[in-house]
Structure 1
């Protein structure tokens, strides 16, 4: 694992695929999301294998309520399960369960936080649909062992490999020259895992304006959902 991820501009994506591939061998799950954390929030999304409707709903309305979010877990907990942390007596947790988990059939989740040399870290969400069992103690322990292994492997990436690729926005412009400057701003923000309300704050837009830009982006690019955009347009169109 270590030798195959060293060096190169795409080391961060290779790392995401290696760690997620190992997790797939350890536990069954229905969704996988690998991302980079910066300033205690989800920043760049490196791998997305998740239902588009649930993914979109999470980043639009429910990220701030998640008991496993970076804000809720870091710096204390490197591995956390939803079954262990969800507290129905808390209003935010109760809403997360009733308005998100139940309608979108999310049974359980485990979050792994993997420290990186730059002081940032990576995150891996392992998700189970309703109808699957909750994660057992042995499964969480196996994922915790993977987290420790991945943390050692992350040391080989080096700070330069961990930083966000500067060409992300330029790649969007190259692939989709028909997008306006503000549409590019929104597309870039979505590709970094930002929800609509976060985009409003960062870009100084009204919520209705963000939604209009998203509609225009999907119409012009032919992309069908935020999942495709957030999964890395450059990787999907140009290959590794």
Structure 2
């Protein structure tokens, strides 16, 4: 398989800030390295505060790393060239409401990134918006809707359309299903898996839901307190975990799904 994304020794050292009463603690993400192939899903798993969401932000350029390098198709990405990063690596957030402006309609939500990052004219932008809406299972007429007019599932599909509108090669999804009810969650998971197959996207899926991770991921990266604990193929990690921390996570998941 073709290596799409390569991360080498990526790290982040947060400078401590002083509050009114005490010095705030700093968070350090130790050196993390991994590869992502085209058409592959890498899951980043860990408890709250493990650094998994921070790692996602470093990949999309929302945070600047203290060290290390990110390569896309063998080309080094500059941590300061946000347009280069924005075009190729896009993010889907857990709460779609936070990423969708309630004051503008869907056409503008999807059209603004095209205006800022492409040379498409008005008619070409409209066609691109319609095609992307269809791609995620929405109707062309949805471009006239506002955020409050959409259901939770439709908002998450719109958030996915917003990530896809610039034809990225990698999608980073940070807990994209946590706020959805089970039936809508299942539909969204199936949609993402279909899009990945059809478009050859690389997916980085951040979660603590082991059931979903086991279902959709090819490989898993385990994080704890800002450190990379272990990584490997999903089946291998779930059946033969090397670290006590990974084994604890898997056993806690199995205790929830095993009938008493």
Give the TM-score of the pair, scaled to structure 2.
0.25
**Structure of larger gyration radius:** 2
Q: Which has the higher strand share?
A: 2
Q: Which has the higher helix share?
A: 1
Give the TM-score of the pair, scaled to structure 1.
0.27
